[in-house]
Chain A
Amino acid sequence: QVQLQESGPGLVKTSQTLSLSCTVSGASISDNSWSWIRQPPGKGLEWIGYFYYSGNTKYNPSVKSRATISIDTSKNHFSLKLRSVNAADTAVYYCARLRVGEFDYPGYTWFDPWGQGTLVTVSS
């Protein structure tokens, strides 16, 4: 059974860097693709980016210039760094595995499972 667990600071100061980790159990970090998704309080879901098993990364244009997703095979975890944060980045951040379907292309992939989520508040 694959399980994911996010960890990181719950409070980040404005203009600083948000850093989160996702520890994976039950699956090899290097054989799968991984993603980060966030949900502002009371709002919907927003995809942040992914690290594909091929080594490719892709980000939502809304955060592209500020986000970096990387993996650490020695620790079997992957990370998100989001630079120059502001209040609009306050959200529950989820990590998730990206499952590949009939075709190995993003249009045929989905997120499963998800971590429990961690609330990050950005404040001065």
Chain B
Amino acid sequence: QSVLTQPPSVSGAPGQRVTISCTGSSSNIGATYDVHWYQQLPGKAPKLLIYATTNRPSGVPDRFSGSKSATSASLAITGLQAEDEADYYCQSYDDSLNGLYVFGTGTKVTVL
């Protein structure tokens, strides 16, 4: 039951900048809860990419950045590289139904 909406796909040429939106509501992102982003390479487990909305774990290139405004969040990838081709998911927490973690619908990034 994805309550965070992402575009199904985005694409860009190597070196370009792409952004992925994550649209929520007042019961999740709008409730000031953090947003986190995960990268899932084909056939692999998700890997933490951005935590607490804007922070990169050690080892994640600074080409990846996160932001949030009101009930939405965004992931930006600058200087797109072939190895960035993957599925990306946002995640937050939702106050409805007595509280639960929610993931975005997922976005497939294609490097042209």
Contact = CB atoms under 8 A, between A and B. Distances in A.
A111 interface: yes
A101 B89 contact: no
B33 A45 contact: no
Given A44-B106, A101-B34, A106-B99, A111 B93 contact: no
Contact of A112 (B51, B100, B102): B51
Contact of B34 (A61, A107, A112, A114): A107
B98 A61 contact: yes
B27 to A, nearest CB: 11
Contacts of B106: 44-45
A45 B45 contact: no
B89 A106 contact: no
Interface in B24-70: 31-34, 36, 38, 44-48, 51-52, 57
A9 interface: no
A110 B38 CA distance: 10
Interface of B: 1-2, 31-34, 36, 38, 44-48, 51-52, 57, 89, 91-93, 97-106
Interface of A: 35, 44-47, 50, 58, 60-62, 94, 99, 101-102, 106-117
Given A58-B100, A99-B51, 20 more contacts: A44-B89, A44-B105, A45-B89, A50-B101, A58-B99, A60-B101, A61-B98, A62-B1, A94-B45, A101-B52, A106-B93, A107-B31, A108-B93, A109-B93, A110-B91, A111-B46, A112-B48, A113-B48, A114-B45, A114-B47
